[in-house]
Amino acid sequence: MNMQTKKIKIGNIQLNSNLMLAPMAGITDTVLRSMVRQMDKECLLVTEMLSSEALVNNPTAKILESTGFESPLAFQLSGHKPHLMAKAAKIIEDRADFIDVNMGCPVKKVVCGGDGSALMKTPQIAADIVKAIKDTINKPVTVKFRLGWTFDTKNFVEFGKLMEESGADAITIHARTRSQMYAGKADWAEISKLKQEVSIPIYANGDIVNIETAIECLNLSKADGLAIGRGALGNPYIFKQIEHYFETGEILPPQTLAEKIATLKSHLDWEISHRGEENGIKFFRKFYPYYIKGIRGGGAYRGKLVTEDSYQSILTLLDEIIENEQKILHIHSIN
């Protein structure tokens, strides 16, 4: 399976993995990135979206924090004003291995301001942003975008070629249009059309949730790498699983429930350490549904966990989940 393990070079930086933790707003903070890095030493990590205007106004914001072992790390910027994007990129240049430009976020409040996937409707502004950043910093610049604004206005091939001409060193493409948001199935095969037209590396993104979808996506998209977003939620182990398979052809067993709960506890503890107990517990509530998905009685436990404020009560509930599963397995074994 070594043929799947393409080593990717972005600008002057050689990467030893073709996997990326895709940026997710309010999700890929320094804690989740560090969780992934503990399990996979080589994949490219990307920060959550950083507003260029907010960054220029507050260059010491907490959202910029990162540990010392996240590299290779890309900081993702959003905005639509080339001079501000360049100024923001300069502020974070020393922290980043790469600067990534968000041209794919479909959220209404982002696109209403002309940011995110709205830039696919203004290709020249998008090109000017890339040029401005390239003229200002000495780090590779990457871009992330979608197939287009709507199904009828897909322009990802022309857009991608323009990004390369403007100086982009790599592309990540989410295989949906903006109008799809996150609904429907990602059309990985479409990405192959862009792959034929550009020489810079392409990461395919969308619906990659396990080894099987990783293989299918690479085969259909002809992409150089894979950007995994929602597939990593509740399962930061996915990068190690896919990496190991690509290198050896061996499928690692999935984490046991006890191992998943241990990962959850570690993630929760790290968020509390990063944000303080009250804020850390509240912030972490979004992750419970992913970690306990598919377990017996998961809905009831999820309802309790997302409203619980007490750290000790949370630990008790998590231990109860494991105990109940063990009881059920024991009953099945003696029947």
Among the listed residues 43, 105, 112, 217, the single catalytic one is 105
105 is catalytic: yes
Is the Cα torsion angle 51, 54, 58, 62 positive or negative in sign?
A: negative
How would DSSP label each residue in 206-250?
A: SS--SHHHHHHHHHHH--SEEEESGGGTT-TTHHHHHHHHHHHS-
Backbone angles phi, psi at 51, to 5 degrees: -70, 125
Give the residue carrying structure tokens 């610049």: 141
Backbone angles phi, psi at 74, to 5 degrees: -110, 135
Backbone angles phi, psi at 55, to 5 degrees: -70, -40
Antiparallel, parallel or unpaired: β 9-10 and 13-14: antiparallel
Count other Cβ atoms within 10 Å, centred on residue 199. Answer: 6
H or E element in which residue 27 lies: none
Residues in the chain: 335
Closest by CA to 35, choosing from 288, 233, 276, 228, is 233
Task: Give first-to-last CA distance, the chain, whole Å.
Answer: 41
Closest by CA to 36, choosing from 256, 279, 319, 243, is 243
Backbone angles phi, psi at 81, to 5 degrees: -110, 110
Which residues form the catalytic set? 105
